[in-house]
Amino acid sequence: MAALHPRVLVIVGPTAVGKTALALHLGQLFGGEVISADSRQIYRHMDIGTAKPTPQERALVPHHLIDVVDPDQELTLAHYRRLATEAIHEVWARGKLPMLVGGTGLYIRALTEGWTVPEVPPNPDLRARLGAEAARLGAEALHAALARVDPLAAQRIDPRNVRRVIRALEVYEATGRPISAQQRRSAPAWRLLFIGLTRPRPELYARIDARVEEMLARGLEREVRWLLAQGYGAHLPAMSGLGYRQMIQYLQGEVTLDEAVALIKRHTRRFVRQQYNWFRLDDPRIHWYDLSTGPLAQVESTVRGFLQDERARAHGEV
């Protein structure tokens, strides 16, 4: 008899650590399907720079929430949470294991902790005005404006994350209430197993460098040229992602190709440090594994115990 509430495997870790490879292995071993938690892989036509799983990999293990919107469209956090929740329940209802996999900590925490997110539609005019203010006065000035109307949100949001600052101001403008007052938490009735992946920093940085070189070899420049030719301009949030922003700088003559590549590598390393702030090594919920030590058998054992315990609960044995 199936359990009433889904049991969800959550695989977290920084960019290039090896999440996709592990998810493919565990998905085949335990009958899992991936629900992507990557805020860049939601965009269609942006395959190389976002390191999407290949069609061959997706044939091995089904993936959900990849290629959801076009690069000039937006997927709000509230919409993502709704789609991901539906996918988890659909996968579980088919007798498969939902595997939430990705490096976007905001997505994973909003989903697993049950954040109630205001469903305020985007206001392009307001966003353009606030973006212009940030460009003219600096990100800190915009963050200070948020602090005046929503101190708690300002405390939670990095001043350098202009997009999130603008979103918080947008919600306040639309509703007259701070976004922090509208974000409640009601964790879903799922049983969660968090698997965290890490590697020594020098090894991880070497993998990042190798991934960037592979993206170039696979045609990252060609992909960015095609996107621009389709009218997806450099101003779009989708085009500001790692790899795309720097290649646009190169194509616009602002930097050389070597300089663009160096920028991608450096900014990706910085992003990795930010990712570790979302999921800390001392978080008691997360079973951390250093992939440099070859812990695959331990990971398999942990997941197997998680699922065996679920089967026992479903039959009233525990």
Q: Cβ distance 77 to 249 under 8 Å? A: no
How far is residue 192's CA from residue 185's CA, in Å, rounded to a whole number? 16
Among the candidates 136, 159, 182, a domain finishes at 182
User: Please, what's the b/e burial string for 207-238 (b: 16 or more CB within 10 A of its CB; e: otherwise)?
Assistant: bbbebbeebbeeebeebbeebbeeebeeebeb
How far is Cα 164 from Cα 258, in angstroms, rounded to an integer?
31
Is pLDDT above 70 for 311?
Answer: no
Residue 19 exposed, middle or buried by CB count within 10 Å (0-12, 13-18, 19+): buried
Specify if 28 maps to a domain.
Answer: yes
Q: Which residue has the tokens 């918080």?
A: 168
Number of domains forming the structure of the chain: 2
Domain shared by 108 and 166, yes or no: no
Q: Specify whether 129 is located in the same domain as 111.
A: no
Radius of gyration of the chain from Cα atoms?
Answer: 20
Q: Which of 94, 84, 89 is nearest to 31 (CA)?
A: 94
Confidence band, pLDDT 50/70/90 cuts, at residue 318? very low
Three-state DSSP class for residue 274:
helix
Instruction: Evaluate whether 36 touches 65 at the Cβ level (below 8 Å).
Output: yes
According to DSSP H, which parts of 94-196 are helical?
Answer: 105-112, 124-137, 139-149, 151-156, 162-175, 179-182
1 pLDDT band, cuts 50/70/90, is very low
What does the alpha-carbon distance between residue 73 and residue 119 come to, in Å, rounded to a whole number? Answer: 16
Q: What is the pLDDT of residue 218?
A: 97
HEC profile for 198-241?
A: ECCHHHHHHHHHHHHHHHHHHCHHHHHHHHHHCCCCCCCHHHHC
In eight-state DSSP terms, residue 255 is: S
By percentage, how much of the chain surpasses pLDDT 70? Answer: 96
DSSP letter (8 states) at residue 121? P
- 77 and 177 housed in the same domain: no
Note whether residue 265 is domain-resident: yes
Q: State the residue range of the domain holding 159.
A: 124-182
Q: What is the CATH number of the domain that holds 137?
A: 1.10.20.140
How confident is the model over 70-114, as pLDDT tens digits? 999 989 898 999 999 999 999 999 999 999 999 999 999 999 999
User: Do 258 and 305 sit in the same domain of this protein?
Assistant: yes
Q: pLDDT value at position 223?
A: 98
Q: Does 88 lie in the same domain as 19?
A: yes
| Average per-residue pLDDT for the chain | 92
C-alpha 23/C-alpha 288 separation (Å) is 15
Residue type, 248: I
With bands split at pLDDT 50, 70 and 90, how would you rate the model's confidence at 272? very high
Q: pLDDT tens digits, residue range 254-268?
A: 999 999 999 999 999
- Pairing verdict, β 115-116 and 97-101: unpaired
State the pLDDT confidence band at 316, using cuts at 50, 70 and 90: low
Closest-CA residue to 163 (of 105, 122, 107): 122
Asked if residue 102 and residue 225 are part of one domain, the reply reads: yes
pTM across the whole model: 0.84
Among 17-21, 188-192, 242-246, 314-318, name the one with the lowest average pLDDT: 314-318
Q: What is the mean pLDDT of residues 282-294?
A: 94
The H or E element that residue 92 is part of is helix 77-93
